[in-house]
Structure 1
Amino acid sequence: MPESQPYRVLARKYRPQTFAELIGQDAMVQTLGNAIKRDRLAHAFLLTGVRGVGKTSTARLIAKALNCIGPDGHGGPTIDPCGVCEPCKAIAEGRHIDVVEMDAASHTGVDDIREIIEAVRYAAVSARYKIYIIDEVHMLSKNAFNALLKTLEEPPSHVKFLFATTEVNKVPVTVLSRCQRFDLRRIPADLLAEHFTKVVAAEQVEADPEALALIARAAEGSARDGLSILDQAIAHGSMESGGVTANQVRDMLGLSDRGAIRRLFGSILSGDVPAVLAAVETQHSLGVEPASLLKGLLETVHGITRAKAGGKVDPALSVEEREAFADWASRLGYATLHRLWQLLLKGHGEVISAALPQEAAEMALLRVLHAGQMPDPAELVRRLESGEVSAPAATPAAPAAPPLPPAVAQLPETPQQLHDLLIAKNAHRLAACFETARPIRFAPPEIVLSARGGVDAAFAADLEKCLNPKFGEDGPRWSISVVDGIGKPSLQDEEKGREAAARQAILESPIVAATLAAFPDAQLM
């Protein structure tokens, strides 16, 4: 009886062995294929992207493509390596002597790079090219990068460098400028779900399409993460059914049922407070994290907004979700959707950082319910214009007295009239200074001002000179003095008081008070 093979996890078992099996990276494959056909191969490649999108796999595929000799042993570099010749097999199994793979996370020093520098001088033993694959290259030390620069810029013709990194911003620009860079994209959820369908078929495992869609979303564009989750989901499935169901995946990942999310969203829109609180409690008892609940609601609002805007339909959505999103999109306005998004986004952030996440989720949803009963700004304007509601009456400012005519016998009766008289005489500097003056006694032509109002004896003298009649004219003689004392409010103080009273009247109006209660961070400008 043959000895059974040890189990390999799906992420290793289904690692791409050809460029055709590399999903979601068509642009890069086309560029490499054209470069190989035209014999325009760079001496160094930098592959960057999030984890699990195929950086290291792509580096090994490039090594195969450059060193493949074909089934007959006479082939040249090709974008479609045969996979059966000795170089292809040796590279796939990680035992080719001319393809050196180094993990920079555990070989960070200049001594490790010095070994590479010494070895590149020697020709390849059996392959067409000697290839160095350095994974997580950003982990190299500064000295190691500096030691590699000269060799990286002018390597021997038989040497190729392949770098892979998840944090390209940590790679020195001097290294980036010496490499041909490829940014590997996140893999779309629909492509991942399609790939997982092929994997479960090869594994002879039954899986619900909805379950595979959930796993594809949870993978966040990473094929390796998705295959690891799928591996776990297959193990999580019952021995009797041997399959993967959507409910099992939700239980395993702590995800909320998307149908329950839609029902909760409907309760929020209808303002049903008991139903919302009951739904939150039910999801909590099922083990759904409060942050995951808010995230599901955010995804719902986003999906409805995209449907309303006529955006591309997410192929990973079920038929029920598409129909529900289309129905809500026809009934909800953009202003309402944007307001729901902002409120839920704020609530999600509060839940993540809250000491009591469950309570924070309930309070956030109650705030959404309260705000949902308020009209949007456009509706408020319509109601104001139609007379359904009236704007709050602000405290009217004291009307400015008209400028005094240049009659000699007429004296100002208030500080404001004196200020206007100074303006009429084009004494703008004195008028500006008088705005801060605090009168102790105002009985023209006698005025006593407080020294605490920012005026002094020089100002009093200038004011007397401006107001007293000139030689040969009849009129009262002004007497203006500045003494120590508190005095009455200045014209400037009175204006600030009127503005504060008007602002307070607006804040206390019912509509504005309700708006500020729903949006605590809002401010009256």
Structure 2
Amino acid sequence: MPQTQVLARKWRPKSFSELIGQDHVVRALTNALEQQRLHHAYLFTGTRGIGKTTIARILAKALNCRTGITSSPCGICSACTEIDAGRFVDLLEVDAASNTQVEKMRELLENALYAPTTARYKIYIIDEVHMLSKSAFNAMLKTLEEPPEHVKFILATTDPQRIPVTVLSRCLQFNLKQIPPALIAAHLKHVLEQEQISCDAISLQLLARAAQGSLRDALSILDQAISFGGGTIEEAGVRDMLGAIDQSYLYELLDALTHKDGARMLAIADAMESRSVSFDAALQDLGSLLHRIALVQIVRPAIAEDTPEREHLLALAKTFAAEDIQLFYQIAIHGRGDLGRAPDEYAGFTMTLMRMLAFMPEEFPQTPPPSTPAPAAAINADGSAADRGRGTDAQVKSAPPSATSLVTAKPAATSAWMETPAVAKPDADTSLLSSDWIVMVPELKLSGLAKMLAQHSEVKHVASNEIEFCVPETQKHLLDKDYQARVQAALRAHLGKPVRVKFSVGMVTGMTPAELENRAKQERQSQAITAVESDPFVRELVEQFDAKINISSIKPIQ
């Protein structure tokens, strides 16, 4: 029984027209070959499996094809077939990783002096050239700069930073790109059609994403998927093979989040744990899903019409506000980074979900899905279960007295985001609100420039679900989106309920915490100076010895 050739070798491109995702390199080489503008040394750089050695072999065929130097080798002459078979006598492929010594390089360069046996050019392909020793690089410099007319060097590397600049300057360099998942999926679909193997679109996307931009890896993974499925490819089998997360878990988590159903979210997490799902991979896929939702909300054409999960994404994009998707995305990626510091992965994952739940705006529908037996169950901001009817009053009562005037207390049946303007009294006494803000700022868990932003902000307007701040013109550089988000997060945590903040630049009345603190410091300084000047002993020194008081040295006692 003949041995089956692996897909990565069977479907290796044999001409420039078959190359995937490297159009910029193909165009440059094609034009150079058609115009006979040939260089003596080429350098191809890029990550693994994107076509560096493949392009080198195609270029070798283009230079030695019996039909002449061409951008479209015939593929049937003796030179083309022998190069494809790897037995062309005038094509030498050197693995620099296993031939790093200077003696090997000198031997190779001595052979370069001899004319090719049958070909037009003697081609040297040196793979992973960055692995050569410093002495080997020095040995090849002169030959690389002025090689014989019949010699062409083609170098390939995954790490061009380790190649001496003296070598780089003597080569025509081409940087190959990672291949987009869409192109990989399309190529895999073509391969499977030729192999007469059926495959669904979601499986193709999973395989393409798993390849991480490498077409060779994609074909190798595809080979593995065919073997895993016994000659067929199905989504469930591909997910099991790759250890990929079942997307239904993520959609159910987001659905439970919209209904603020913490019990259901924990149940989903328990189900994932029982199936030994990687929570790190789950948060990675959740971040990817939130990214795609954000694209649908802001740049809808970025999601192709034939995307399998397009309908799910459109539905979620309408359910969530754009700013909340941005917040959940940040929570997901930070939660993934915190997994290593969590007590265990389950705790880190569920804490990330509870954090999303804590920052979930109140204006979303409160009705839980039919599958939830206890619609009254909810999760408070501190992560504890509580009756949904009592949650609002309990949170307001637990908030500091200084915070209650910023977000008005309300009946249990009315949410903070649904409160009417008449109850909220948005035009309440701003001076009173500002005094509450001044007391609250030191209690907020802020640091750095975010704390400075809060200190230089003055309350201008308060609604049931929003607090508007004004920042003086001199401090507008603090209005970074990250600092604003940190202030909003600190407020939400302090008040124990969702609240939005809005910042503007304008005139302030001087009631900012920073200004009042500065006035207090000046007052304490004045009192300290007065106390020193009125001290009997100091006055006696001044009067009898004509002493001078160094005002700048006086500091108030803290």
Q: TM-score range by the shorter chain?
A: 0.7 to 0.9
8 Å Cα contact 1:271-1:369 kept in structure 2: yes
Amino acid at match of 1:231: D
Identity %: 40
Q: CA deviation at 1:309?
A: 1.9
Query: Structure 1 residue 464: deviation in Å?
Result: 7.9
**Would the aligned equivalents of 1:47 and 1:165 in 2 still touch at CA under 8 Å?**
yes
1:409 maps to: none
CA distance in 2, matches of 1:94, 1:333: 58
SS in 2 for 1:372: coil
Distance (Å, rounded) in 2 between the aligned partners of 1:388 and 1:336: 30
Give, in angstroms, the shift of residue 356 of structure 1.
1.9
Q: How does 1:232-311 map to 2 (within 5 A)?
A: 232-238=224-230, 242-310=231-299
Is contact 1:307-1:325 (8 Å) kept?
A: yes
Other-structure match for 1:177:
169
Show the counterpart of 2:181: 189
Letter in 2 for 1:110: V
Distance 1:279 1:464 in 2: 83
Residue identity in the other structure for 1:187: I
Secondary structure class of the residue paired with 1:260: helix
Do residues 34 (structure 1) and 22 (structure 2) align? no
User: What is the aligned partner in structure 2 of residue 82 from structure 1?
Assistant: 74
Distance 1:399 1:159 in 2: 77
For residue 7 of structure 1, what is the aligned residue in structure 2? 4
Q: What is the CA–CA distance in structure 2 between the aligned matches of 1:399 and 1:304, rounded to whole Å?
A: 46
- Correspondence for 1:63: 60
Aligned partners of 2:525 and 2:555 also within 8 Å: no
- For 2:479, the equivalent position in structure 1 comes to none
Is this contact kept in 2: 1:102–1:134, CA < 8 A? yes
Residue 126 of structure 2 aligns to a residue whose secondary structure is strand
CA distance in structure 1 between the aligned counterparts of 2:169 and 2:237, rounded to whole angstroms: 48
Structure 2 residue corresponding to 1:346, chosen from 316, 334, 337 = 334
Tell me if structure 1 keeps the 8 A contact 2:82–2:88. Answer: yes
1:16 paired to 2:13: yes
CA distance in 1, matches of 2:304, 2:258: 26
Name the amino acid aligned to 1:327. Answer: A
Q: Structure 1's 388 and 365: CA in aligned 2 closer, same or farther, altered over 3 A?
A: farther
Cα separation, partners in 2 of 1:149 and 1:311, compared to 1, 3 Å: farther
SS of 2:302's equivalent?
A: coil
- In the TM superposition, what is the alpha-carbon distance from 1:252 to its structure 2 partner? 0.8
Report if the CA contact (8 A) 2:253-2:265 is conserved: yes
Shift of 1:313: 2.6
Structure 1 position 388, deviation (Å): 11
* Code of the aligned partner of 2:344: L
How far does the alpha carbon of each residue in 1:48-96 deviate from its partner, in whole angstroms, 9 at most, with x for none? Answer: 1111111111111111111111xxxxx1111111111111111111111
Q: What count of residue pairs does the alignment treat as equivalent? A: 421
User: Secondary structure of 1:65's match?
Assistant: helix
Report the residue type matching 1:226 in the other structure: A
1:267-324 superposed Cα distances (whole Å, 9 cap, x missing partner): 22332111111112222323321111101110111111112221543449734x2223
Separation in structure 2 between the aligned mates of residue 244 and residue 417 of structure 1, nearest angstrom: 77
Change (3 A) 1:13 1:387: farther
**1:105-124 to 2 correspondence within 5 Å?**
105-124=97-116
Cα 1:463–1:45, aligned 2, differ >3 Å: closer, same or farther? farther
CA distance in 2, matches of 1:98, 1:400: 85
Once the two structures are superposed, residues 398-436 of structure 1 have per-residue CA deviations (whole angstroms, 9 ceiling, x without a partner) of 9989xxxxxxxxxxxxx969948xxxxxxxxxxxxx65x
The 5 Å alignment of 1:60-459 reads 60-69=57-66, 75-238=67-230, 242-310=231-299, 312-315=301-304, 318-319=307-308, 321-352=309-340, 354=342, 356-373=344-361, 386-387=427-428, 390-391=433-434, 392=436, 394=438, 419=526, 435=529, 444=534, 446-448=535-537
- The separation in 1 between residues aligned to 2:62 and 2:98, in whole angstroms, is 27
Cα distance in 1, alignment partners of residues 194 and 524 from structure 2? 94
The answer for unaligned runs of 5 or more in structure 2 is 364-405, 408-420, 440-512
Aligned-partner residue type, residue 167 of structure 1 = D
Corresponding letter in the other structure for 2:345:
P
Alpha-carbon deviation of 1:99? 0.4
In the other structure, the counterpart of 1:477 is none
Residues in 1 aligned to 2:44 and 2:95: alpha-carbon distance in whole angstroms: 14
TM-align CA RMSD: 3.5
Structure 1: tracts of 5 or more residues without a match: 70-74, 402-414, 421-433, 450-456, 468-479, 481-489, 498-525
Does structure 1 retain, via aligned residues, the 8 Å contact 2:90–2:116?
A: yes
Alignment of 1:54 with 2:51, yes or no, is: yes
Offset, 1:384: 9.8
The Cα shift of 1:28 comes to 1.0
Deviation at 1:120, TM superposition (A): 1.2
- C-alpha spacing 1:115/1:388, structure 2 compared with 1 (3 Å): farther
Return the letter of the residue paired with 1:230: L
Q: Contact 1:189/1:316 (CA < 8 Å) preserved in 2?
A: no
User: Max radius of gyration: which structure?
Assistant: 1
Q: In 1, Cα distance between the equivalents of 2:232 and 2:19?
A: 26
- State the TM-score, normalized to the length of structure 2: 0.68
SS in 2 for 1:57: helix
State the distance in 2 between where 1:374 and 1:388 align.
25
TM-score (norm 1): 0.73
Q: Could you tell me how far 1:129 is from its partner in structure 2?
A: 0.6
Please tell me the residue identity of whatever aligns with 1:179. Answer: C
Greater displacement, 89-98 / 387-396:
387-396
CA distance in 2, matches of 1:95, 1:398: 82
The one-letter amino acid of 2:2's match is: Q
> Structure 1 residues 417, 394: CA separation in 2 closer, same or farther (over 3 Å shift)?
closer
Conserved 8 A contact 1:213-1:316? no
Distance 1:295 1:463, change over 3 A: farther
Do the aligned partners of 1:132 and 1:161 also contact (CA within 8 Å) in 2? yes
Separation in structure 1 between the aligned mates of residue 519 and residue 146 of structure 2, nearest angstrom: 82
How far does the alpha carbon of each residue in 1:471-518 deviate from its partner, in whole angstroms, 9 at most, with x for none? xxxxxxxxx9xxxxxxxxx98446xx6xxxxxxxxxxxxxxxxxxxxx
